[in-house]
Amino acid sequence: MTEIVNSAATTMAGSPAPQRGANAQVRSSRILRMLVTAGTYAFLLFMALLVLFPFYWMIISSLKTTEEYRLNVPTFWPQSIQLVNYVNAFTEANLGRLFLNTAYVGIVSTILSLVITILTAFAFARLEFKGKNILFAGMLATMMIPGELFTITNYQTVNTFGWMDTYTVLIVPFLVSVFYIYLLRQNFMQIPNELYLAAKVDGTSDFKYLWKVMVPLALPTLISITILKMMGAWNSYVWPRLVTKSEEMRLITNGLRGASLKDANGETHYPMQMAAVAMVSAPLFLVFIFLRKYIMHGVSRSGIKG
């Protein structure tokens, strides 16, 4: 009996050691996770600062005088803030007209492109007709052809039609996007086909089913397409430069490129140029900041089936 009591006492006396070892292991693993998390956030913060620094430099440069801008040792904050650079850039570069042209082309082309994309994606996702898969594969194959190869033929075509230097030449050639059709078609394929069959039994037309059922369910993808199309129209440079000659038809990118922003001595006013670039970049920057979740959500949903 005495031996049993001594053995139990020995066991109880030795139990804290393994417990302390387990606690130390838990603490070390917790510290390791904290260090990994801190290192990850430090790396992300560094990369964020690296990406945002050009935007910061653009803004502070737009608020400087020409003399401060040309200093051998650059300043990281303006000695005197020159908000007049934005006023002069807006008037001298005719940004009001450029903004209106770009907004008109972007809105009209986006609306027409959405109509074409929705109808085409619905046809490939739900309707049955001969050669559907072959036609769809042929459309996807065109995505492997660089867009620059179509520039010469498109230019000859619109010149033959007499569309040069008009809004038509800025809108019509790029209404159809195979990528947008593919993106929306993949999203439509996720919607159960039983809904379509049930709607047909109830006598619902294809257009009504598309408008009442498929479009609301695919709304995140449609928002993504809208944003991407508007950004494409806003950033377009080569094609508007080729097909527009008059200053009244210029878009924001090529119009800003041809703007002459000079100071009183006839030299290039770089802070004013920076102010113009900041005003042009601000709309897209704000769109990406506030609507980025719709872009990511729409693209992620379109890549998953089932």
Structural domain spans, the chain: 1-49, 84-302
pTM of the model: 0.76
Residue 306: is its pLDDT beyond 50? Answer: no
**Alpha-carbon distance 61 to 58, whole Å?**
5
| 95-125 helix and 219-235 helix, angle to the nearest 10 degrees | 140
Q: At a CB cut-off of 8 Å and minimum separation 6, what does 123 contact? A: 129, 132
Q: With CA atoms as reference, report the closest residue to 278 among 88, 56, 58, 50.
A: 58
Residue 143: is its pLDDT beyond 50? Answer: yes
Beta partners for 262? 268
Give the model's pLDDT for residue 284. Answer: 81
Q: How many CB atoms lie within 10 A of CB 223?
A: 16
Fold of the CATH domain 84-302: MetI-like fold (1.10.3720)
CA 74 to chain centre: 32
Residue 305: is its pLDDT beyond 50? Answer: no
**Alpha-carbon distance 62 to 85, whole Å?**
7
Q: With CA atoms as reference, report the closest residue to 245 among 232, 233, 258.
A: 258
Q: How many CB atoms lie within 10 A of CB 276?
A: 25
pLDDT digits (tens, 9 = 90+) for 150-188: 888 899 999 999 899 899 999 999 899 999 999 999 889
Give the model's pLDDT for residue 45. Answer: 95
Give the model's pLDDT for residue 66. Answer: 87
Is residue 78 exposed (0-12), middle (13-18) or buried (19+ Cβ within 10 Å)? middle
Q: With CA atoms as reference, report the closest residue to 167 among 120, 100, 212, 219.
A: 100
